[in-house]
Amino acid sequence: MIAQQRVVLLLLGLWSSAFKGGQGQFPTTQNVTVVEGGTANMTCRVEYNDNTSLQWSNPAQQTLFFGDKKALRDNRIELVRASWQELTISVNDVTLGDEGLYTCSLFTMPIKITKAYLTVLGVPERPEIVGFTKPAIEGDMVTLTCASAGSKPAATIRWFRNDKEVQGTKEVNATGKSFTVRSSLQFAVDRRDDGVAYTCSVEHQALDKPYQTTEVLEVHYAPHLEITCSLNVPQEGMYMKLECLSTGNPIPEPVLWSKDGGELPDVERMIVEGLELTITTLNKTDNGTYRCQASNHLGTSRAEYILFVYAKGFPGSTTDPNALGQVGPDHALVGGVVAVVVFITLCLTILLGRYLARHKGTYLTHEAKGADDAPDADTAIINAEGNHVHAEEKKEYFI
């Protein structure tokens, strides 16, 4: 009886061990993502193990470690921890070729396995901008191309004009297990692009922050000139300065000043210093058209300023009557008002004359009719009073 009980207990123990093994002896792993050149730790765990060995194999099904025993001669692969419940190994200096499905095996009957995928991120190279030759000439078509190789998955390239994003065209090419990404911008440059920074930004999950490179454009363009005056209303005796504001690349120089199409008058009151023309004491003889002129290898530009000097004590104005293209005081406005007044006066005169002409006439009265034959005034009156029958002879003549 006792022997039978022992047999039953032994069978129950074997069944319990088998039940635990069936329920707990399943290895678990996790997928791993690592940046190219980094270290990947591969861990396999089991909840219950009755002294059964764990094993790691690579995607080519080559055994890396069997328990704590190294099976593959690869100095990059090392043992981190080995026990009945865990087997952890490390793969150092990971390459894109290490990517794939790794297998952890538990050597029970039957063998139980689980798999973990090692993803290797290809780090993009720092970008370069090509295709631009300094300097560009205003109106030229320019193509900027930014390229970055070695990314996996393919990197994203973004363009910025100063701080504002602009859209480029994208091209992706596979090179082995990595990708080369290119993006291009094409546009016609003008003077507004001179000094503008175009930045290529490469973004990728393997990077903590984007890689960036910048190209600052240099654009040559013809000069543009403009004259400014230090006075709103130039008056006799005042100090005045004209400045020739010059833009252009290369900077146009020298600036040449002239008056009324000829050289400046040889007077001590006029001083030329670079871009500035100073008249120390204004008078009426300074009236005229002042011109500045400057050139670079792309062209020549001129600007004019018409100066009218007012009498001393002129009330002044809130606007500048001497702005470029205007002639001293606004003679055009004054002349227009005078012309309108003269025209209206002339029209009124003509209408009045026509009115008077239409109402001009000759009247024959009774008094006048009697006076024709009377020797004196009394007789004329009597004759007039006696001739009422001829009243209808009163006549009017109209012209």
pTM of the model: 0.62
CA distance 163 to 148: 21
Fold adopted by 222-307: Immunoglobulin-like (2.60.40)
| CATH code of the region 23-121 | 2.60.40.10
**What residues does CATH 2.60.40.10 cover in the chain?**
23-121, 128-217, 222-307
CA dihedral 129, 133, 136, 139 (to 10 degrees): -70
Query: Of 162, 171, 149, which is closest to residue 199 (Cα–Cα)?
Result: 162
Tens-digit pLDDT profile for the chain (399 aa)? 444 444 333 333 433 444 444 445 789 999 999 999 999 999 999 988 878 889 999 999 999 999 999 999 899 999 999 998 999 999 999 999 999 999 999 988 889 999 999 999 999 999 999 988 889 999 999 999 999 999 999 999 999 999 999 999 999 999 889 999 999 999 999 999 999 999 999 999 999 999 999 999 999 999 999 999 999 999 999 999 999 998 899 988 888 999 998 999 888 899 999 899 999 999 999 999 999 999 999 999 999 999 999 998 877 544 444 443 333 445 556 667 777 788 888 888 888 877 777 765 544 444 444 445 555 555 554 554 444 444 444 444 444
For residue 149 the two structure tokens come to 């190789």
Domain 128-217 has CATH 2.60.40.10: yes
The rounded distance, in Å, linking the Cα atoms of 104 and 87 is 9
The pair phi, psi for residue 22, each rounded to 5°, is -65, -30
Q: What are phi and psi of 82, to 5 degrees?
A: -140, 125
**Cα–Cα distance measured from residue 286 to residue 135, given in angstroms and rounded to the nearest whole number:** 43
8 A C-beta contact, residue 30 and residue 41 = no
